[in-house]
């Protein structure tokens, strides 16, 4: 199953690979060179297909926990001052996605979208300390009955040239469902309340919509 954001790219890749096969068959006489070109074209198609894959995920829904919004590696867990929306201290959990990860963004929790904004910007490598403030990015805040307001930020990386964000202000969203897509290497930051119980560790690999990032014991 492939994500809808990849349909055009997949169609272009198929056209390029098919044309390449036909041209190679007609104009390249050396068999070893033919097979090398066939292999390179086939590899290109496989890379495009795997990048836009959209596997089904089994989310255990609940207002008392936040699930990972994306696949990738946890690269930051720290208390920071979030200055765009909250203007106070939060726990930041950042997940880095390599080009080999699934790049679908999913809602980490259910609730009401209170804020959704796109910011144009640079394309620093996604793990750069200033990427969260200077790169192309979107900021979305979801209000949840247990956690209160939770902010997540899609951040473009050095290779990412397009962020897709489906979150619309005042929309009611469901945990684990499709929230957008980031093309190629990138990062997602979560900003959680200080009394959240973080249950992941640095360098842990997480799976979007399935692995729990944080828990909260507050009653709704």
Task: Specify the pLDDT at position 204.
Answer: 98
List phi, psi (to 5°) of 49: -65, -45
137-187 confidence digits (pLDDT tens) = 899 999 999 999 999 999 886 665 578 999 999 999 999 999 999 876 688
| Single pTM value for the model | 0.84
CB of 147 within 8 A of CB of 212?
no
Active-site residue set:
186
Q: Which residues touch 78 (CB under 8 Å, ≥6 apart)?
A: 91, 92
Q: What percent of the chain has pLDDT over 90?
A: 59
Contact 76, 48 (CB under 8 A): no
CA-based nearest residue to 125, from 187, 80, 48:
187
Residue 207 binned pLDDT confidence (cut-offs 50, 70, 90): very high
Residues 15-55 pLDDT 10s: 999 999 888 888 887 788 888 998 999 998 888 887 788 88
Contacting residues for 167 by C-beta, under 8 A, at least 6 apart:
107, 113, 116, 138, 140, 142, 173, 179, 180
């Amino acid at each position: 199953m492939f994500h809808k954001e990849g349909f055009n790219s997949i169609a272009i890749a198929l056209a390029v690979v098919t044309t390449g096969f036909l041209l190679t068959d007609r104009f390249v006489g050396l068999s070893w060179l033919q097979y090398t070109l066939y292999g390179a074209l086939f590899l290109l198609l496989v890379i495009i297909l795997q990048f836009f894959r959209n596997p089904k995920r089994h989310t255990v829904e609940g207002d008392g926990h936040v699930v990972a919004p994306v696949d990738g590696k946890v690269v930051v867990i720290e208390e920071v001052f979030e200055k765009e929306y909250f203007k106070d201290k939060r726990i930041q959990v950042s997940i880095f996605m390599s080009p080999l990860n699934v790049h679908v963004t999913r809602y980490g929790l259910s609730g009401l979208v209170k804020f959704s904004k796109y910011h144009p910007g640079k394309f620093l490598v996604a793990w750069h300390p200033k990427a969260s403030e200077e790169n192309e990015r979107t900021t979305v805040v979801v209000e949840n009955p247990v956690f209160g307001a939770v902010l997540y930020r899609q951040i473009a990386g050095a290779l990412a040239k397009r962020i897709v964000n489906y979150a619309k202000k005042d929309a009611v969203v469901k945990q684990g469902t499709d929230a957008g897509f980031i093309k190629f290497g990138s990062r997602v930051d979560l900003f959680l309340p200080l009394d959240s119980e973080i249950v992941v560790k640095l360098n842990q690999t997480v799976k979007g919509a399935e692995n729990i990032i944080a828990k909260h014991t507050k009653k709704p």
